[in-house]
Structure 1
Amino acid sequence: MRDFKNIRGWCFDLHGVITDSWIYHAMAWEETAELLGVKWTPDIQEQLKGRDRLDSLEFILEAGGLQDKYSDEEKQAIAERKNQRYLKYLQKMNPNDILPGIQELLDDLTANGYKMIIASASQNAPLEIEKLGLTKYFSQVVDVTKLAHNKPAPDVFLKAAEMLDLSVDQCVGIDDGAIGVESINAAKMVSIGVGDKQILHEADIIVPTSNELTIQNVRQAFN
């Protein structure tokens, strides 16, 4: 693994790392799946982590054997209706939704002069950062609508490093989903997984919870 002393940038996924808003996404997708006649399962919920809106819908349709039932235009409409459900849930979001330990981590990173950026698959990331009261930490958010490919392709993390004016060797990427870790690894960054070590086994570093995502723990893992 690379030398921690060279790390200057931290590229964060949003859902499951900064905030628990993933539950709002899951609720909106579960409602969508039920309307489509697809049985919602814990495996589907886990597999959607890190996917963008249309990719998530494609996964649900395939799980229900419905991949050929809808036109591209109909899929766009279904995905948009899901997003409207999500935005209704999102109105409840506030700084209390920041995951444990993250506020302290962001303060610590700021005090030590690290650069930070949001590298999320969600198009709603800027709104969520605003509602969480974290815009002072994240002045930059990767606009996934302008990328050729979303996760698991490396584009979002490559763009994050570019926006921070750093090389990928100078950055770590943090994600809670296997697809996100795959994206970080494809970008040739050091990957940090937050969550289950079996699901995130491809990550270079794994911490079980956001509380354990600290500069000290990451530094020790490098060493």
Structure 2
Amino acid sequence: MNNKIEAVVFDLDGVITDTAHFHYLAWKQLAAEVGITIDEVFNERLKGVSRMDSLELILQEGNRENDFTLTEKEEMAAKKNLHYCDLLKQLTANDVLPGILELLAKIKAEGLPIGLASVSKNAGTVLKALELEDAFNFIADAAKIKRSKPDPEIFLTACEGLGAAPVRAIGIEDAAAGIEAIKASGMFAVGVGKSLQGADYLVDSTNQLDWDKIKETYEEWLKNSIK
């Protein structure tokens, strides 16, 4: 049986680098401006979720989802993004999470294409700050994705862009919505973090990502998947 992996697709926030705190600070400020209080526990619900969907969740939290027009909501989301982009100026190549550069190098050494499936419309800015613009063979354009995670659209788009069958591809995520999206696409799911139900291979942190173990677990998963 051919166990060849055809592609590896990474999420960005929480996997390549941790900009979740920047998102949190920007959302917290915007929420406060409309009289809504959010904390870091609530912020977990926003991980892997698109900008407009995140705003809807925040407005629902304050029972204000019907208080603004679509235009007003778009202006609020844009304001949050400006604050977030300002915070991103602090980001450098030193902010790549532990073990990620080594993992990328091992995957590249095997000649496997690498993709990025991030709902962040600032992915290019983040990759440039991290000096990783050339690390990815295909970056799914979040602006063209109609359905946010947990819908599999962005991972299916990445697989298509890399010329890979989903069952022959590995997705790496740190959010529950992302794991759900990977599984819905038919890919093998690597989870980074605690309590990520549905992950086929799970570690607590990025420095525990072992490429040989991931491949071994993938091969076992594939055998069971195509029986």
TM-score normalized with structure 1 length: 0.94
My pick for the range that moved more, 204-213 or 139-148, is 139-148
CA contact (8 A) 1:4 1:219 kept: no
For 2:213, the equivalent position in structure 1 comes to 217
> Partner letter of residue 162 of structure 2?
L
Number of the residue aligned with 2:73: 75
Q: Amino acid of the residue matched to residue 211 of structure 1?
A: N
Provide the rounded CA distance (Å) in 2 between the counterparts of 1:192 and 1:208. Answer: 11
CA distance in 2, matches of 1:141, 1:127: 13
Partner of 2:45: 47
Higher mean Cα deviation, 18-27 or 159-168?
A: 18-27
* C-alpha distance 127-147 of structure 1, shift in aligned 2 (>3 A): same
* 1:4 Cα offset (Å): 9.0
Runs of 4 or more consecutive aligned structure 1 residues displaced over 6 Å after TM superposition: none
Query: In the TM superposition, what are the counterparts of 1:194-205 in structure 2 within 5 Å?
Result: 194-196=192-194, 198=195, 200-205=196-201
Report deviation, 1:107: 0.8
1:144/1:4 CA distance change after superposition, 3 Å: farther
Q: What SS class does the counterpart of residue 136 from structure 1 fall into?
A: helix
- The one-letter code of the counterpart of 2:92 is N
Q: Normalising to structure 2: TM-score of the pair? A: 0.92
Query: Distance between the aligned counterparts of 1:4 and 1:59, measured in 2?
Result: 44
Deviations 1:74-132 (A, max 9, x none): 10000000000000011111101100000111111111111101100101111111111
Q: Which residue of structure 2 lines up, in the alignment, with residue 99 of structure 1?
A: 97
Q: Which ranges in structure 1 are unaligned for 5 or more consecutive residues?
A: none
CA distance in 1 between counterparts of 2:144 and 2:215 reads: 33
Shift of 1:203: 1.5
1:183-206 deviation line (CA, Å, top 9, x unaligned)? 11111111111001x2x1121221
* Correspondence 1:115-194 to 2 at 5 A: 115-194=113-192
Identity %: 37
Matched letter for residue 68 of structure 1: N
- Is residue 2:87 matched to residue 1:89? yes
- The total of aligned residue pairs comes to 219
Coordinate RMSD, CA, aligned: 1.4
Determine if contact 2:137/2:162 at 8 Å carries over to the other structure. Answer: no
Aligned CA distance change for structure 1 residues 34 and 11 (closer, same or farther; 3 Å): same
Higher relative contact order (CA 8 A, sep 6+): 1
Contact 1:12 / 1:175 at 8 angstroms: preserved in 2?
Answer: yes
Alpha-carbon distance between aligned partners in 1 of 2:11 and 2:103, rounded to the nearest angstrom: 14
Q: Tell me the distance in 1 between the aligned counterparts of 2:34 and 2:95.
A: 30
The 1-side partners of 2:26 and 2:145 are apart by 25
Residue of structure 2 aligned with 1:37, choices 35, 38, 62: 35
Aligned residue among 11, 14, 17 for 1:13: 11
